Structure 1
């Protein structure tokens, strides 16, 4: 792969005020994904873009510092498509922050396109461009890249700036550009760091166990994360969740007792048995971890029709507003709102009740669930909302 001048690319992007960027990575068999390629695009001044394919695996020939600094500059717009993983990877590997993000997939939802539209579909709809997506699932960590891989990587950003211009034109005409930009800012905080406590709380059936068992499970999670990180292996290859919880429940003190636990094959016992027992012992010495004493009431079977009614309201607003429904609410959001109204609780902190979403649909949703609004079928089989 030809050497590139990152300082020159950064200077060009600063002049243009924006940078299109995409990544290729490999996650299989690793603790966290390996950044394999970075593709960048800069306006060429004639309505098209110049593209460079950068090799972050070339430790001697590529210095990411100028581009890392560029990503952190709020004066430069960083354009991506479905960029959650890209942002997390670049933040971690390049040790930078990423600001002023514009994600074309997110923006497309505000422009009346389907939620989570793929890049190929976006270009086809906006620009009439068709891509040759033939190398997506290849070994991006192999060198040298094949001509097919190099062309695939290049195409992933070749038209992204043109697509951004077309999207912004639509959004400005509909008055939704600021909404899209606000939504894109959420990506600036995305990370692929794994929080031990969050992983612990997601363990199966962990909430129903007593505090002492929970303390051991938490220590086993911490040991598993450290081991997987040091050996760059998926956590599941170190110790499966179900086996981890069962170890915490049984609290084995010997290899013999440990070997009786289902899901621990001979290889794991031989390589990791001692470390597992050590983690169990450390967990015994920790104070018990209590479960949350004031849990929110759970879903009720009676909620199903209320959630369906709520979804009908949200979908009607999405359709009339030219927005993807998924931008306004998820089923979990609606369940939280329904539960809070049913139980007379404080409003839940869900996105449907915040910012522009509340103005568009949130207040009306609450009024509907309180019996202050009625949904009815109007002309043309259109759903209408009227005061009761």
Structure 2
């Protein structure tokens, strides 16, 4: 009886250690001290962004090999410093799933990105799980676990959090341990660690996340290539970017894209003309916003034509490029199926369009492991050295010299 009681009590204690919510800095420091010795930790975040420029961090979930915890950054007095120190520790791999938004949050908090980083969504693409494999899919296939989605759209800023919310949040890091370990085993077996490392280098590049104010105009969709129009749009978008950051509100809460485009198309000369722009009132036009916009217009007007930005026009493609692009799509799918890797990771449609007209196009498909998987075959297809044929009911690529009467590639694709 005593043994049974002690065992049961140990189970309860272990369960509490495995799943806990941390609301004070001392407990967080103790946890991070233990996790600092682990080879990896899995990390996820819950945040809100509907009414702010920067994401508002509401919960951080972290798990090591033997324990997991939800960290409440909204708890009074809690400081995230011990956790941020853990994220900086190079001896510990930080494992995320679909990491970009999480990494943007930590970049804002730390001024730098966690290193080293491992994204299981990217690793899954390398392992043939398709494009942008969901966490639920990987959990089902690799961890044999089902995720309860009922708390997915919860308001994570409200307190207190329910037990169901915390359990749901922690499932994003507890099952991720198994997913990570199984993906790592597959990648090690296939010898594709270098493929994954190349993608992780992009994830840990600050330029992936930071938009310079003077480049913000490129986020706005416009059909105009007029250099002076683009110069005005650049100045307006840079002002809006800085204003949104300073006030921590979404860009469109400062001024909508449509209004920026209208102003750039027909620049108002004064506050009265600005007040006639859709979405502007007389008080806005005569106030601080109006003055800032008129100042931005004045800066654009003062530029020399050589200082105007330009959008590169797409070159005219040969008439044959359309069918060739379709052939390259067929070859890409075939090669990616053959190598069990997601197509999107190897080449995009835009890459194929450039490759169709330029054998030396500056696209990822013509360098590194992508060239081995697809690039060389694509160039051979273009040179007529490779044909697509159906053999035993399966599409295959064969050297044209291996056939007495090479089949036209387009016919093969059909």
1:306 maps to which of 324, 327, 352: 324
Q: Which has the higher contact order (CA 8 A, sep 6+)?
A: 1
Structure 1 pair 231–165 and aligned structure 2 pair: CA distance change class (3 A): same
Q: Which has the larger radius of gyration?
A: 2
TM-aligned CA deviation for residue 102 of structure 1: 1.4
Counterpart-to-counterpart distance in 2, 1:112 and 1:79: 19
1:348 and 2:361 matched: yes
Contact kept in structure 2, 1:19 and 1:40, CA below 8 Å? yes
2:349 maps to which of 325, 331, 347: 331
TM-aligned CA deviation for residue 138 of structure 1: 1.6
Partner of 2:308: 290
Structure 1 pair 120–284 and aligned structure 2 pair: CA distance change class (3 A): same
Counterpart-to-counterpart distance in 1, 2:389 and 2:182: 37
Name the TM-score, length of structure 2 as normaliser: 0.83
Deviating more after overlay: 353-362 vs 259-268 = 259-268
Contact kept in structure 2, 1:206 and 1:245, CA below 8 Å? no
Partner of 1:230: 246
Instruction: Give the root-mean-square deviation of aligned CA atoms.
Output: 2.4
Contact kept in structure 2, 1:201 and 1:207, CA below 8 Å? no
1:57 and 2:71 matched: no
Counterpart-to-counterpart distance in 1, 2:265 and 2:374: 46
- SS of residue in 2 equivalent to 1:43: coil
1:318 and 2:336 matched: yes
1:241 and 2:263 matched: no
- SS of residue in 2 equivalent to 1:337: helix
Partner of 1:12: 34
- Give per-residue Cα distances to partners, 1:28-74, cap 9 Å, x unaligned: 12212212111000111xxxxx1111122336223x22322332333
1:156 and 2:176 matched: no
- SS of residue in 1 equivalent to 2:201: helix
Structure 2, unaligned runs of 5 or more = 1-20, 402-414
2:193 maps to which of 177, 201, 209: 177
Structure 1 pair 339–237 and aligned structure 2 pair: CA distance change class (3 A): farther
1:273 maps to which of 275, 290, 295: 290
- Give per-residue Cα distances to partners, 1:199-246, cap 9 Å, x unaligned: 2234333752233x4333222112111111122111112122232122
Partner of 1:21: 43
TM-aligned CA deviation for residue 268 of structure 1: 5.0
TM-aligned CA deviation for residue 107 of structure 1: 0.9
Deviating more after overlay: 85-94 vs 273-282 = 273-282
Partner of 1:47: none
- SS of residue in 2 equivalent to 1:79: strand
Structure 1, unaligned runs of 5 or more = 45-49, 342-346
- SS of residue in 2 equivalent to 1:162: helix
TM-aligned CA deviation for residue 277 of structure 1: 2.0
Contact kept in structure 2, 1:224 and 1:239, CA below 8 Å? yes
1:208 and 2:225 matched: yes
- Summarize the alignment of residues 257-272 of structure 1 with structure 2, pairs less than 5 Å apart: 257-264=273-280, 268-269=284-285, 272=289
Counterpart-to-counterpart distance in 2, 1:305 and 1:155: 47
1:196 maps to which of 208, 213, 227: 213
TM-aligned CA deviation for residue 172 of structure 1: 2.3
2:235 maps to which of 219, 224, 249: 219
Counterpart-to-counterpart distance in 1, 2:273 and 2:96: 52
Name the TM-score, length of structure 1 as normaliser: 0.88
Equivalent pairs counted in the alignment come to: 376
Counterpart-to-counterpart distance in 1, 2:266 and 2:314: 29
Counterpart-to-counterpart distance in 2, 1:11 and 1:301: 63
